[in-house]
Each structure stands twice: as C-alpha cells, then as structure tokens.
Amino acid sequence: MRATLTVVMTVAALFTLTARADWQWAEVGTVENDISQDETEATWAADDCELISDAAGAYLYHSGEIMKKSRDSDEKEQKAGLFKAAVALSQLSVNHADVYQVFCKP
C-alpha cells in the first residue's frame, strides 16, 4: 500500500512539474499580459533613475570600503560584523541595479 501511494504521489508531482514547464515556456505574445520586447520608453523619470543609479554605485563603493576594513581587522567579532555589513550593502547595490534595469532601461 505504501509503495503504491509513493508511486502515485511521484507521478502526480511529475505531471504537475510538466504542466508548469509547458506554461513557463509559452511563446512571447501568446499570453495576454506579455510585455512587448520592443519597449522604447523608460517607466521612471530620468532624475529618479539617476538617483537610483547613484545609490547603487554608492552602496557598492561603501561595501568595498567596509570589506577592506574587515580584512584589516584583527578582532574576530569586528571582522565578522564588518563582513556582514559589506554583504548587506552589496545586496542593496544589487537591488538598486535590478530596479534600474526594470524601470529605467528603455
């Protein structure tokens, strides 16, 4: 009984994954809410986009500076804390770059 249940659950899971895979690879333009690949205008104003770009650069710069301080530190706890801060700032930079890519690139 247990083996049968396992086989049925496996087949159901595979069927679900197959159905999802078919949907994910739909041709562009076949789904009503597809965004045109030929968009030529940015969504946000140029001033806002410049601020986002500047922020991404500043976060990345400060991440590198804090990482240098982390490497130079001899204290284990301070080194770990600085490293975590550098990673957090780096992630903020990535997030801002993603926002820029989505809303500011034509």
Domain spans of the chain, in order of start: 2-103
DSSP string, 26-81: PPTTSSTTPPPTT--S-SS-HHHHHHHHHHHHHHHHHHHHHHHHHHH---HHHHHH
> Is the pTM value of this prediction over 0.85?
no
The answer to whether 9 and 3 have CB atoms below 8 angstroms apart is no
Quote the DSSP letter at residue 25: T
Place of tokens 């083996």: 3
Mean pLDDT, contiguous 10-residue spans, the chain (106 residues): 56 51 55 56 86 94 95 93 94 94 87
